[in-house]
Chain A
Amino acid sequence: MTTPLLQVKNLRIEFPSRRGTLVAVDDISFEIAPGEVLGVVGESGAGKSLTGAAVIGLLEPPGRIASGEILLNGRRIDNLPFEEMRKVRGREIGAIFQDPLTSLNPLYTVGRQITETIETHLNVSKAEARDRAIKLLTETGIPAAEKRIDHYPHQFSGGMRQRVVISLALAAQPKLIIADEPTTALDVSIQAQIITLLKKLCREHGTSIMLVTHDMGVIAETADRVAVMYAGRIAEIGPVSEVIHNPQHPYTIGLMGAIPSVGDEVERLTQIDGAMPRLTAIPSGCAFNPRCTRVNDVPDGRCTRERPSLLPAGKTQAACWLHDKNTASVAGVSKETSHV
């Protein structure tokens, strides 16, 4: 087995506040293989963006990594000094954010921003950097790149700007790209263009992607594996088609049923009652237990007492006591969950 490109081990992100410490991400572990696209999906406040920010070393204080390790190519990067981390950022990890207007500097031409990145990280001359920038812009589908390179961000439309951001992320040929909601601000027709482009480029360059989004449709099309987050924890992780067609965690099952889909003639959508808990009031045991319909299928109120770790479930892994061997024989989970 190849060594994973990125390893996140028992990551915990805390926000110290006057009313006590808030745990935004609580003990999560996952890996990304070279060339793999890992989708991270969840509702707002699930901690998905924070996980991305922690990997790239851009957690906003007072948020901090309280424990755990992040390893890139086997090298620990979560405790690097600022200057060292700056070299990793851009060179080894690229980033694409949701709003292309705020991730570009409005005062510099797009060409200057891209060549700056290339010159900082790669040992090339000015002229060569410019050539590369033009090549990148052409690759991302910007027409007349030789001319457009000297334009300012405001002269581009939303979709074109996101293409510039992608060129910028790819400029120093990083091994990993953190894409945080890259298509959320775009219209559907543009969204399709950007997703296709991102997939194509990463295949060609052999880049891994950590794709953070709330849109399961984007994940379905792009990712190889997906991690479903809930209240700062991973509820389920596994191959995309398994998680979508045969989800194992009650939260994932509910989430899949809640997404309306074209051509589906259902009168009512599956409804998960209640809302995600606030960080100040995360329930003990499994964080999903107050909303879970199957909490009584696990004996002795274990769901409310003991936090489940990721257990093998079907072809995925789910953090749910229903999949514990001892429980499973009691509740008959394997039969019941498969058809939901």
Chain B
Amino acid sequence: MSDSKILLEVRDVAREFDVSKPWLNRMIEGQPEQILKAVDGISFTINRGETLSLVGESGCGKSTMARVICGLYKPSRGEVIFDGVDMAKVHGAELQNLRKRFQMIFQDPYASLNPRWRVGKIVAEPILSHNLITDPAALKKRVDELLTQVGLSPLDAEKFPHEFSGGQRQRISIARALSSNPEFLVCDEPTSALDVSVQAQILNLMKDLQRKFGLTYLFISHNLAVVSHISTRVGVMYLGRLVEVAETKRIFQRPLHPYTQMLQSAIPDLKMTGKQRTPVAGEVPNPLDPPTGCAFHPRCPYANERCKVERPSLIEHPDGGQVACHAVEEKRIPIRLAA
């Protein structure tokens, strides 16, 4: 293990999906191949012990990014470097060793647990597949301990997933994810299927576990309020690209990228009843046919000719964080402070 501060580095990762019609249809109808660029050249780093959140609207590629990091999809381009090791370059036992150091929590606790397995077996599966504990008594002890840690009872190990509510199922998912003693958890919308009071329970639990075990989280969500609560840093995605990355406080108080500003003003606010949200015109374009230059230019109030042709790259901003915007770089945008 290296001692560097950075646990995970993603370098220029892209993931494309071939969504063309079958070959014969293409020949007859004379249509070209269609490639969907779900993730299009993303780079970021995650430091040990922090929570980096990726936010964006549906179809922006945030879940694809999570899956690429976990190795569920192979990147079409770029590298995922975990603790100094390029994931694409290790194989066999070495990859297994690396794999057990990170786990994933999925959105839908109804679909991510095998309905025919008892909870004890579900939680023990990562332990067994990584050969961490082989003695049955020790295994049982470990499962009981995990269930207690996530606020369930050891007796629950004998039950089936359908006997639990959504929030409890998400606790089971968390127990399973923790079973191989990982350092890094990728959480793909872990609370978006839950009610607010249950969401609060799960978010509190995740924060407690992070403190206790020194976990690092990559948190994927579309809910900005949840993100602002749990994150150390936030990355905003739009159409497969990262448009802004910065400390949570900076991004919500001084959003720099026009898209971040738009998202920030669109948050429904409980505090200021009667506040008018600033609705932004337009919708997310079809990712099969993304706009040229900066992908946000058709909806951007500050777009000019340069934005239409030249794709902005993510550059350091003096206020902290990184922004991919020509208008910010040229100081054409008035800075908007949160009220």
Binding site for B on A (CB under 8 A): 43-44, 157-160, 187-193, 195-196, 214-218, 220-221, 240-241, 244-245, 254-264, 266-273, 275-276
Does B228 lie within 8 Å of A192, measured CB to CB? no
Does B201 lie within 8 Å of A187, measured CB to CB? no
> Count of A-B contacts with CB under 8 A?
134
- Chain B's interface size range is 35 or more
Contacts of B204 in A (CB 8 A): 268-269, 271
Indicate which residue in A158, A192, A217 contacts B280 across the interface (CB closer than 8 Å). Answer: A192
Does B229 lie within 8 Å of A264, measured CB to CB? yes
Does B224 lie within 8 Å of A196, measured CB to CB? no
Contacts of A257 in B (CB 8 A): 200
Does B268 lie within 8 Å of A263, measured CB to CB? no
Contacts of A215 in B (CB 8 A): 268
Does B270 lie within 8 Å of A261, measured CB to CB? yes
Is the CB of B95 closer than 8 A to any CB of chain A? no
- A217 and B283 in contact (CB under 8 A), knowing A188-B263, A268-B204? no
Is the CB of B86 closer than 8 A to any CB of chain A? no
14 interchain pairs, CB-CB under 8 A = A43-B197, A44-B195, A187-B57, A192-B265, A214-B195, A214-B196, A220-B273, A257-B200, A259-B225, A260-B225, A261-B225, A262-B264, A262-B267, A272-B201
Q: Rank and list the top 3 A-B pairs by shortest CB-CB distance, nearest first.
A: A217-B268, A258-B200, A260-B229
Residue of A nearest to B272 (CB): A220
Residue of B nearest to A197 (CB): B279
Which of B229, B252, B271 has most chain A Cβ within 10 Å?
Answer: B229
Does A188 lie within 8 Å of B197, measured CB to CB? no
CA–CA, A312 to B57, complex, Å?
42
CA–CA, A51 to B36, complex, Å?
43
Contacts of B269 in A (CB 8 A): 217, 220-221, 261-262
Is the CB of B277 closer than 8 A to any CB of chain A? yes
- A221 and B197 in contact (CB under 8 A), knowing A187-B222, A190-B283, A260-B203? no
Does B196 lie within 8 Å of A262, measured CB to CB? no
Does A221 lie within 8 Å of B195, measured CB to CB? no
Contact with A along B181-200 (1 / 0, CB 8 A): 00000000000000111111
Contacts of A273 in B (CB 8 A): 201
Given contact pairs A220-B273, A258-B196, a sample of 11 additional A-B residue pairs in the complex whose CB atoms are under 8 Å apart: A43-B195, A158-B283, A189-B283, A195-B268, A214-B195, A217-B225, A220-B268, A255-B196, A260-B203, A262-B225, A275-B168
Minimum CB–CB distance for B224 against chain A, Å: 6
Minimum CB–CB distance for B69 against chain A, Å: 23
Contact with A along B202-225 (1 / 0, CB 8 A): 011001000000000000001011
- A191 and B280 in contact (CB under 8 A), knowing A258-B197, A272-B200? no
Is the CB of B165 closer than 8 A to any CB of chain A? yes
- A261 and B278 in contact (CB under 8 A), knowing A255-B197, A273-B201? no
CA–CA, A270 to B270, complex, Å?
16
CA–CA, A278 to B226, complex, Å?
27
Does A275 lie within 8 Å of B196, measured CB to CB? no
Contacts of B57 in A (CB 8 A): 187-189
Does B196 lie within 8 Å of A217, measured CB to CB? no
